[in-house]
Chains A and B, each alone.
Chain A
Amino acid sequence: MIGYYVKRLLSALFTLFLIATLTFFMMRAIPGGPFTREKPLPPQIIAQLNAKYNLDDPVIVQYFSYMKGIATFDLGPSFKELGLTVNDLIKQGFPGSMKVGFVAVMFILLFGIPLGIISALKQNKAIDHVVMVMATIGVTVPSFVVATLYIYFISSKISWIPITGLSNPLAYIGPAIALSGYSLSYVARLTRSSMLEVLRQDYVRTARANGLSEWRVIGKHALKNALIPVITYVGPMIAAILTGSFVVERIFSINGIGRYFVESVNNRDYTVIIGMTVFYSALYIVMVLLVDIGYSLIDPRIKLGKRSGD
């Protein structure tokens, strides 16, 4: 048991190490370097800048100091936003992304799972068809379309719903809908199909034969197993959503890391791009790790130490 956790942790760390290394050398591979401008800077200034950011050191030395930085959670300075470090940007952006992401995840769990269950229980009835058609549309419409349609049809027409920013609680609705649309539909579909499968199992029939109320059969026996595949999906999804969608934050002008990331992409602020990539990846890997561990605790059928797919 402990051995399995240690193994998973080590492999997560190894993946992070690979990502950091890869991104570092990708940054090195950029032709020109970080201070290349359309109007070239005087060579003295470039020399000064290079000296300030230790860019004159041999690559291997830079690599070690960069890795040391990552190990101590220091992602380095921004080359474009003067005086700010990548850590500062993450600190500024993370709360906004977290808040919107949290609301979106709540939407997904509170609507997606119940809709899936209802759909499965009323299989092939009208309500099932309605939910599934909605879910199919939800999976196929991109978030930026949902967001812009929301702004056009709802928040620009109804004056007490703010269009941008996060000034009052109502402002969360739009970003949360846009962020959760895809996952909500996916979770509803996933819950439905896994619920249908579980309902056919013998133990559910046994529970019914024993005279348990339908409520107890579904709520206690079927749901517990039906939710396992949903949890697998929800874990990484939470990581992806909490860190915010780049597009949604941009449309709703929310100060989140997604927005900073897109801005850094447009400014070609390489250290920020790389730093945020490492940060995102770390968050993602940690979430997957947590889900895997949680998974092994919930589902006794999973044999520890065995890789999936074998």
Chain B
Amino acid sequence: MRNLDFEFVDSSKKASKEQTRRSLTYWKDAWRRLKKNKLAMIGLVGVTLIILFGVVGPWFMPYSYSDQDNRFTNIPPRFEIYAIADDGYVFLSSQYNLILVSEKGELLDKLVRTNMDAINKVYTYSYNGEDIEVDFKNRLLEDDGGIDLKVTYKGVTSEYPTKTVSNKTFVWGSDNLGRDMLTRVMYGARISLTVAFVATIVNLIIGVTYGAISGLEGGLVDDIMMRIVDVINSIPLVLYVILLMVLIDNRGLWTIIITLGSVYWVGMARLVRGQVLGLKEQEYVLAARTIGVSKAKIISKHLIPNTMGPIIVAMTMMIPSAVFTEAFLSFIGLGVSAPMASWGTLANDALAGLSTYPYQLFTPSLAIAFTMLSFNFLGDGLRSALDPRLRKG
């Protein structure tokens, strides 16, 4: 072949032969379809928000999860303030502590209670040497005549609250030790999400390895391995999580992670095995075998990458259930130890004071529900985006 047999083609002709549409890889295609799914995108935004909330949030907070302020215990996120002459505003907490607040809702100080007249329902507090009398009779009457409290200061009685303000010091209120709820819920997010993510990864590693080996080996090995899975599957797993937690008896973060991680891999193993059973008959696996690639390499280089879609879907679904299980364990008293708190612990702590301080339960509960909802939406979206059978174009 000599150069003379060929001639150069100018670039315009070359261009016309190029593909008009870029070919999409599996992942690009999946992402394209995921983007079209509104619910999935809401889920993705939600997941991002909750991760940011837990990871970045605490940096912006002036408190730590264990900072206590004994003056301001059980202060709700919103409260009614009463003007005391021109000297400021006060607010009576559910524990009958009189708190001096600014007009905007910043907590300034707790006033000293000098006298308690429990019979007439009048408490006296001292402020700058003057007495403030708080009469809460009407609060306890069936017919309160529209009046809640009567606050008397320097002879002036105010019967109606000046206004309702939001708590500026503790935006989500404070708990029974005067700790900031928002900060605690943020740290709770860290703990709950760490537990969920790490436990899911542990599950993933065990489940994928187990399933891949079982599926690839086949025959007797597969039979025995799947028999074991069947047995584990017929056990109510929550009980075993509890048993393991009791056994290890160390309320650390790692105990929960290890317990959750070691129990919930069965579903993943089944899923991967099913996929591998189909994939291992493919020609490329045969080709790899003929050139002597080891089984470990076939699994890690050929089989697992091709099952990534369903694995990711299963993972997104596993994370909310791990959050759920962790919350549940904390709720029955098997969670991380104080002063750290996961969402479940926070909810459990709030249970005792539910009727008086409901906000302490609402925030961690909402956080749990929000997380579960976001991950579920995302998982549903990923399932339809990654499953080739549901592909519509």
Contact = CB atoms under 8 A, between A and B. Distances in A.
A141 interface: yes
Given A246-B332, A281-B239, A145 B347 contact: yes
A23 B270 CA distance: 25
B333 A262 contact: yes
A136 B243 contact: no
B376 interface: yes
Interface in A61-116: none
Contacts of A149: 365
B235 interface: yes
A240 interface: yes
B376 A136 contact: yes
Nearest to A236: B236
Contacts of B347: 144-145, 148
A277 B355 CA distance: 34
B333 A273 contact: no
A79 to B, nearest CB: 13
B235 A145 contact: no
A29 B247 contact: yes
Interface centre among B235, B333, B372, by most chain A C-beta atoms within 10 angstroms, is B235
A251 B351 contact: yes
B274 interface: yes
Nearest to B355: A156
A144 B335 CA distance: 15
A31 B355 CA distance: 41
Given A152-B354, A156-B355, A19 B235 contact: yes
The size bracket of the interface on A is 35 or more
Given A265-B333, A268-B246, A139 B351 contact: no
B234 A288 contact: yes
Contacts of B351: 148, 251
Contacts of A152: 354-355, 358, 361
Residues of A contacting B: mostly: helix
Contacts of B334: 265
B333 A247 contact: no
A156 B242 CA distance: 32
Contact of B243 (A142, A239, A273): A273
B324 interface: yes
B324 A142 contact: yes
A144 B331 contact: yes
Given A137-B373, A148-B361, A15 B234 contact: yes
B320 interface: yes
A280 B234 CA distance: 11
B247 A281 contact: no
Contacts of A30: 247, 249
A168 interface: no
A117 interface: no
A57 to B, nearest CB: 22
Contacts of A19: 235
B389 to A, nearest CB: 13
B236 A309 contact: no
Interface string B212-248: 0000000000000010001100111001101100110
B268 to A, nearest CB: 14
B246 A284 contact: no
B328 interface: yes
A301 to B, nearest CB: 20
B286 interface: no
A247 B331 contact: yes
Nearest to A278: B239
Given A15-B235, A262-B333, A145 B354 contact: no
A149 B324 CA distance: 17
Given A152-B354, A277-B243, A309-B274, A262 B332 contact: yes
Interface in B344-363: 347, 351, 354-355, 358, 361
3 closest cross-chain pairs (CB), A and B: A140-B372, A145-B365, A140-B373
Given A268-B246, A273-B242, 10 more contacts: A141-B368, A142-B365, A151-B354, A240-B236, A265-B242, A268-B249, A277-B243, A281-B239, A309-B270, A309-B274
23 contacts: A15-B235, A30-B247, A136-B373, A136-B377, A139-B376, A140-B369, A140-B376, A144-B347, A145-B369, A148-B351, A151-B355, A152-B361, A240-B236, A247-B331, A251-B351, A262-B332, A262-B333, A265-B242, A265-B246, A273-B246, A281-B239, A288-B234, A307-B226
